[in-house]
Chains A and B, each alone.
Chain A
Amino acid sequence: MFNARLTVSAAALAMVAAPAAAQELTISVYGIAQDAFDEVLYTPFEEICDCELVVETGNNSERLAKLEANAANPVIDVIAFADSAALEAAEKDLLAPLDMAQLSNVDGIYDFAQDPLGNGMAVGYTFYGTSIVYRSEEVSIETWTDLFSEELAGRVALPNITTTQGPLTLYMIQRAIDAEKAEAGDFSDAIAMVAENRDRIVTFYERSSQIPQLLQQEEILASVVGRFAWPGISSIPLEVEWALPEGGQSGGLNVLAVVAGTEQTELAHQFIDYWLSEEIQTRIAEARVDSPVNTAVEVDEETAEALTYGPEMAESIHFLPPAVQMENRESWLDAWNTEIAR
C-alpha cells in the first residue's frame, strides 16, 4: 500500500514537473504584467541563453519569507525585490554579492540604482513614484493630509503597513507634519493621524490591483498607490488624476539580486544584465510596465506620461532609504498594530 502511494506520487510528480531543459534559471518576481514580461523579456532571453526560465510570483514579504525558509536549499536564482526587502534579505545572508564585471550595463543606469543597498548585492531595475490618486470631479487634493478631509471620510483606502507603499505613505504624511522627524524614521505623528481617522478609512489594502476596482465601484474616491498601478487605474471610465501634492511624491526602487547558494551564478548575472540593457528597458517601458533606469532609454510623451520617467522625475522623488526602513520597521509595525489595526 505504501509502495502504491509512492508510485502514484512519483507518477504525479513526473506529470507536473516541467520537461527538463538544458539549463534552468528560476526567478522570483512581482506578479504584475507577466504576459508583457513574457513577451519582451522572458522569451527573448530563453532564446539567447538556450535555457528555461521558471517564474515564481508574489509580493515582497511572502517571497522573502519563502526565501528565508528555503535558505538551506535555495530554489530561486534571481530575485526582484523592493530595495528595503532586498536589504533585509541581504542582512539575513540570503543574497550573494554581485560580480559587477559581469554586468556590463550597470554603468548605463542612474547612479542611485547602481548600488542602492550600498553593499554591492543589488542593482535597481526600475523606479516609481508614489502619490495620491483621486476622482478629480469629486474631490481635490492639495496636500498629503487632505487624505483625511471631510469629503474623503469613508471614501479613502490606504496601503497597509505590510505593503511597500505603507511606509512610504506614512513617510509623506509625517513629512507634511514634521519633516525632520520623518527623515529620522519617526512616524509617530503620521500614525497618530491615521489612527484618529481609522473609522473614515474604508480599508488598508494589501494589493494595489484592488484600487481600480475600489475606484470604479465607487467604494473610494482616493488612495495612495505606486505609479506602476497607474495604467490600470487610468483605464477605468472615470475622471481619475495623479496628484502632485504640496510636499511632492514619494517612490521606490525595485532591485534585482542573486540568491546566496545558487549554482547558476553566471546565468543569473547574464539575465540581470540583459534586463538592464537599453533594448529590454526600452521594450518594458514601451509596454508601459516598468519605468526604465537605463539613462539611454527614450520614450514618447504618451508613454512617459504612463510611467515615472526621466532624470528630473527621479530627482524629485522622496525615496525612503532602505536602511531607515530596516531600522524602524518593527517600531512602525508595533505602533500600527496597537493604534490602528485593532
Chain B
Amino acid sequence: MTNTRRAGLMLVAPATLFIAIGFLLPVFVLLSGAFRLESGWTLSNFTDFFADPLYREVFFRTFRLGLTVTAVAALLGYATALAINDANPRSKGRLVALLVLPLMISPVARTYAWLVILGRTGFLNVALTSVGLTDEPLRILFTEWAVFIGLLQLFFPLMVLPLISSLENMPRDVIPAARVLGASWLAIFWRIILPLTREGLVVGGTLTFVGSLTAYVTPAILGGSKVLMLETLLYQRVSVANDYASAGVIAVILIAMSVATNVMLKRLATARGGR
C-alpha cells in the first residue's frame, strides 16, 4: 500500500515540481506585487484600481462580454449539438471535425479574417447593403460587437463539444419516451435534456467564460483601444506605462474570476445532480 503511494508520488513529482518551480513560483512573485507598495503590504492597489473609472469600465465590460458570449454560445450550442447529434454517424464525424477546426487555426489568422469581414466595406456590410437590409454600412469593427463576434467564433466549439458528448451519454430513447408521455419540445428540453446534460453545459460554460475573460488577440485587434478588456489593458499597463502594480492587480482579478467561475459552476453541476 505505502509502496504504491510512494511509486505514485515518484511519478507525479517531475511534472508537479516543474510546474511549481518553473511556473507557479514566478507567477506568485508577480502576483504578490499587487499586494505591495514601497511601504509594505497593502490592498490599496485594488482600491485604486476600482476607484479609476477607466479600469472599472474595463472590468465591467470584460465581465459583460464574457457573460454575453457564454449565454449566446450556450443557446446556439444546444441547438447545434442537438442537430449534430441527430445527424448520421458519418456526417457527424465530419461536423465535429469542422467544429474543432477553429480551435486549431492560428488566432492571428482567425482575427485577421474578421478584420476583412467586419469592415465598413467588408464582406458583411457589402452583403447587407446589397440585399437592402441597411442603407448605411454598419459600424462593427472597433466596437464591442466585433469583439463579441470574434470571441463567439473562438469559443463556440469549446461549448458545443462537451454538449455533444453529454448528449451522447444521455440514455437512449429518453426523448422519444418523453414525447410518448406527451411532453412538448420545450418541456423535453427543460425537464430532460437540460438536467441530463448539465455537466457538459458546465464544462463548456466554464471554458467559454474563462476563455473570454482572458482572451488577448481578439480584443486587441478587433476592439482596439476603444474596447479595452482586462487582458489588453494588462498588456497596455506593462508595455506602455511599466506599471507592474496595476498589471499584478489585473492578473489577480483575472485569476480570481477564473477560479471563482470554476468553483461556482462545478458546485452548480453537482448541487442538484443527485436526482
- Give the interface of A toward B (CB within 8 A): 1-2, 5, 61-62, 64-65, 68, 154, 160, 162, 201-206, 213, 216-219, 333, 337-338, 341-342
Contacts and interface: CB of A to CB of B under 8 A. Distances in A.
B121 interface: yes
Given A61-B240, A65-B239, A219-B120, 13 more contacts: A1-B14, A2-B14, A62-B239, A201-B226, A202-B139, A202-B141, A204-B224, A206-B224, A216-B121, A337-B54, A338-B54, A342-B54, A342-B58
B238 interface: yes
Contacts of B228: 341
27 contacts: A5-B18, A61-B239, A61-B240, A62-B239, A65-B238, A160-B225, A162-B225, A202-B141, A203-B141, A203-B142, A204-B224, A204-B225, A206-B224, A206-B225, A213-B115, A217-B119, A217-B121, A217-B122, A218-B119, A218-B120, A219-B120, A219-B121, A337-B54, A338-B52, A338-B53, A341-B225, A341-B226
Contacts of B80: none
B54 A341 contact: yes
Interface in B48-65: 52-54, 56-58
B242 interface: yes
Contacts of A201: 226
B238 to A, nearest CB: 6
A2 B17 CA distance: 10
Contacts of A68: 242
Nearest to A201: B226
Contacts of A65: 238-240, 242
A290 to B, nearest CB: 24
Interface string B239-260: 1111000000000000000000
Nearest to A219: B120
B247 to A, nearest CB: 11
Interface string B119-142: 111100000000000000101011
Interface in B172-226: 224-226
A219 B119 contact: yes
A185 B168 CA distance: 66
Nearest to A69: B242
Contacts of B226: 201, 203-204, 341
Give the one of A160, A162, A204, A219 with max B CB within 10 A.
A219
B239 A217 contact: no
Interface residues of B, number: 27
B54 A205 contact: no
A268 B52 CA distance: 44
Contacts of A62: 239
B225 A342 contact: no
A211 to B, nearest CB: 13
Contact of A342 (B57, B139, B142, B224): B57
Nearest to B224: A203
A341 B141 CA distance: 17
Which 9 pairs across A and B sit closest by C-beta, in order of nearness?
A: A203-B142, A217-B119, A342-B54, A203-B224, A337-B54, A61-B240, A204-B225, A162-B240, A342-B57
A337 B14 contact: no
B36 to A, nearest CB: 18
Contacts of B262: none
Contacts of B119: 217-219
Interface in B20-70: 52-54, 56-58
B85 interface: no
Give the one of A61, A213, A217, A218 with max B CB within 10 A.
A217
B132 to A, nearest CB: 19
A337 B54 CA distance: 6
Give the one of B56, B122, B239 with max A CB within 10 A.
B239
Contacts of A217: 119-122
B53 A342 contact: yes
Contacts of A204: 224-226
B53 A203 contact: no
A62 B235 CA distance: 10
A205 B224 contact: yes
Contacts of A342: 53-54, 56-58
Contacts of B122: 217
Nearest to A199: B226
Interface in B85-122: 115, 119-122
B143 to A, nearest CB: 9
A26 to B, nearest CB: 20
B225 A203 contact: yes
A212 to B, nearest CB: 13
Contacts of B261: none
Nearest to B241: A333
B139 A154 contact: yes
Contacts of B121: 216-219
A160 B241 CA distance: 13
Contacts of A205: 224-225
Give the one of A203, A204, A205 with max B CB within 10 A.
A203
A2 B21 CA distance: 13
Contacts of A160: 225
Given A162-B236, A162-B240, A219 B225 contact: no
